[in-house]
Amino acid sequence: MKIRIPIALSLFATFLNLAAATESKKDAKPNVILIITDDLGNTGLSGWGSSFYETPHIDALAKSGVLFKNFYSASCLCSPARASLMTGKYPQRVGITEYIESTRKTGPHSHETTLPQTEITLGEAFKKNGYQTGYIGKWHLGAEAGGWPKDHGFDWAMASCEHGAPGSYFFPYKHRSASVLNVPDLEDGKAGDYLTDVITDKAIGFIRESSKATAPFFLTLSHYAVHTPLEAPQPLVEKYKKKRLKMYGTSQAPFEKEGGYRNRLRQGNPTYAAMTESLDTNIGKLLASLKKLNIYDNTIIAFVADNGGESTRSSVTSNIPYRAGKVWNYEGGIRVPAFIVWPMHIKPAVIEEKSITMDLYPTLLDLAGLKLLPEQHIDGVSFKPLILGERNTMAKRTIGFWHPHMTGAPKSGAYISGDWKIVNFLNGKPSELYDLSKDISERKNLASTYPDREKQMTQEFRQWVKSTNRTHMEELKK
C-alpha cells in the first residue's frame, strides 16, 4: 500500500521533532550530584577489595563511570578534607587543619572556626551559573552565624548538625547529653526511622521538585554514614553476625600497635557492615529515583569519601593492606574511593594518575560546561580531558598532606612525589621514607637506605608547606 504524501510528511516531521528533542536533551546542562561519605576507607566497599562488606549498588555505579584508582583525601580528618572539597584548595590555605570541635571556644578545634565567607564554594560556583543548589547532611565546616551551607551558596539545606557526627542514627537523632550532635530539621519522623534512609529520602524530594524546573540542579548529599556511633537496623546486624561466624568462626580480630593505639587488621564488625550496606542500599534507591524521573542519563554523579576508615581510635574497620587509618598520614588515612559517572557522556574507564580532593571542584565545573575559577580552586586540576578520553595522560604531580595538631596521632605531614612518599613528623621523630610502588603497606622505612632522597624530600615538603600554608608555620620550627 502506498503512503499518502501528507502522512509521509507528517511522519518525517515527527522524526525531525524527535531528533531535535534528543539533540536538545544531549546539549542540556547536566544535573550534578556530589555524594560524600564519612570515614569510608579505600577498602570499605566490596568493589574495592572488601570480602566482608556488601555494596553492589555502589560497585555497579562505579563500574559504569570513571574510577580514580589512586585518589587521595586532602586530609586524614573530616573538616580539613571537606574544606578542600568546597574550595578547591589545600586545607591550610583556608585555615582549617583540624576537625572543628563544637564544644570548645578557643584553639585549633574552636567552635568559632568556620569556612571563610571570602571563599567561592562549589555551591556558590554552581549557583552563579544558574543552578538550583541543595545540601543535605554532614557539614562540619562551622556552626557559628554565617558558617552554614546556606551561607555558602546552597539555596536549600537541611539536617546538618553542629558537630561532625549524629547523636544517634535513629529518630529523633539526638544524643542524651551533647546537643551539638543532634541532627535538626527531621522532626517530622517517627520511631524506628533510620538517618541514612531519611536523608536519602529528603534528597530525593529535593531532586523531584528541582526536576520540575527548567534550571538544572547541583545537590551535595553528605551522608553521616559510616561515622560512629555504630548503629544500624537489627536485621542487618544479625545478617553480618552470621557472616562473621561463617568467615572467621569464633576467632578474634587481630590487631597491631600503631602509636598509642591498636590498629585493626581484619574487617568484621557486624554493625559497621550493616551501616555500609544501608548506605549502599540508599545509593541504589537514589539511582532508581533518577531513572524514574528520566534524568539519570544527563546527571553527573561524583562519589567520594572525606578520609580513611577509622581503624585505630575506635577500631571499627580495617584498611588493610593500607597502614593505619583516620588521623594518620599513612595510606590508610588518606586513600579513599572516588569515581564520576555521567551515563550520557562518560565511558567506563580507570584513571591511574594521582588525584586528590581539590580536583573535584574544577572537574565538576568543567564537565558541566561552566567557566573554571583558577584563582579559587588553585590546588585542583580538572580531569575532564582524561574522563572524556580527550587525553591519555596528565602531567605527574606532587601532593602533600598537613596535620599539625594532635588528634590521636603524632603531629605530621606527608609528601608524595612519583612513587616515593615521606612522612615528616613535627615532634622531633625521624622522617620515614617509603617506595609506594613496592610497599603500599608502608612497612619498610627506607630513610636510612636513601638518606639523600629523604633529605631532598624533606626540603621539598617544607617548601610546599611554606608555599601553601596560611597559618601554623611555627610548627616547622619545632
**What percent of the chain has pLDDT above 90?**
82
- Which cell numbers in the block locate residue 385? 580531558
pLDDT digits (tens, 9 = 90+) for 323-382: 999 999 999 999 999 999 999 999 999 999 999 999 999 999 999 999 999 999 999 999
- Which cell numbers in the block locate residue 311? 581503624
Q: How far apart are CA 399 and CA 139, in angstroms?
A: 25
Instruction: Sheet containing 432-435: give its strands across.
Output: 398-403, 412-417, 420-425, 432-435
Q: How far apart are CA 351 and CA 297, in angstroms?
A: 22
pLDDT at 391: 87
Q: Provide φ and ψ at 36, rounded to 5°.
A: -115, 130
Q: Which CATH class is domain 410-478?
A: alpha beta
The beta strands (E) that lie in 120-178 are given as: 132-137, 156-158
Contact assessment for residue 132 and residue 210, using Cβ atoms and an 8 Å cutoff: yes
The beta strands (E) that lie in 151-309 are given as: 156-158, 217-222, 255-258, 261-264, 299-305
Interaxial angle between packed helices 234-248 and 270-292, expressed in degrees from 0 to 180 and rounded to the nearest 10: 120
Contact assessment for residue 75 and residue 81, using Cβ atoms and an 8 Å cutoff: yes
Q: Which residues contact 256 (CB under 8 A, 6 or more apart)?
A: 262, 263, 265
The residue type at 256: E
pLDDT at 106: 47
Q: Could you tell me the CA-to-CA distances from 182 to 13, 205, 445 in Å, in that order? A: 58, 22, 44
Q: Which of 337, 338, 335 is nearest to 436 (CA)?
A: 335
The residue type at 437: S
Label residue 11 exposed, middle or buried (CB < 10 Å: 0-12, 13-18, 19+).
exposed
CB atoms within 10 A of CB 18: 10
Label residue 203 exposed, middle or buried (CB < 10 Å: 0-12, 13-18, 19+).
buried
Q: How far apart are CA 10 and CA 16, in angstroms?
A: 10
Map 108-135 to HEC letters: CCCCCCCCCCCCCCHHHHHHCCCCEEEE
Q: Which residues contact 467 (CB under 8 A, 6 or more apart)?
A: none
Q: Which of 341, 302, 306 is nearest to 37 (CA)?
A: 306
pLDDT digits (tens, 9 = 90+) for 69-93: 999 999 999 999 999 999 999 999 9
- Strand-pair partners of 124: none
Model pTM score: 0.92
pLDDT at 5: 47
Find the angle CA(125)-CA(130)-CA(135) to the nearest 5 degrees.
60
Which residue ranges make up each domain of the chain? 30-392, 410-478
Find the angle CA(128)-CA(129)-CA(133) to the nearest 5 degrees.
70
Contact assessment for residue 141 and residue 102, using Cβ atoms and an 8 Å cutoff: no
pLDDT at 323: 98
Instruction: Report residue 439 CA to chain centroid gap.
Output: 25
pLDDT at 25: 55
Q: How far apart are CA 102 and CA 113, in angstroms?
A: 9
- Work out whether strand 255-258 and strand 66-68 pair parallel, antiparallel, or are unpaired: unpaired
Question: Which CATH code is given to the segment(s) 30-392?
Answer: 3.40.720.10
Counting other chains too, the contacts that 234-240 makes at CB distance below 8 Å and 24 or more residues apart are 236/273, 236/274, 236/277, 236/278, 237/270, 237/271, 237/274, 238/270, 239/270, 239/274, 240/52, 240/270, 240/271, 240/273, 240/274, 240/277
Q: What 8-state DSSP symbol labels residue 228?
A: S
Which residues of the chain are modeled with pLDDT < 50?
1-3, 5, 8-9, 11-24, 104-111, 472-474, 476-478
Q: What 8-state DSSP symbol labels residue 188?
A: T
- Work out whether strand 398-403 and strand 132-137 pair parallel, antiparallel, or are unpaired: unpaired
- Give the side-chain half-sphere CA count within 13 A for 411: 14
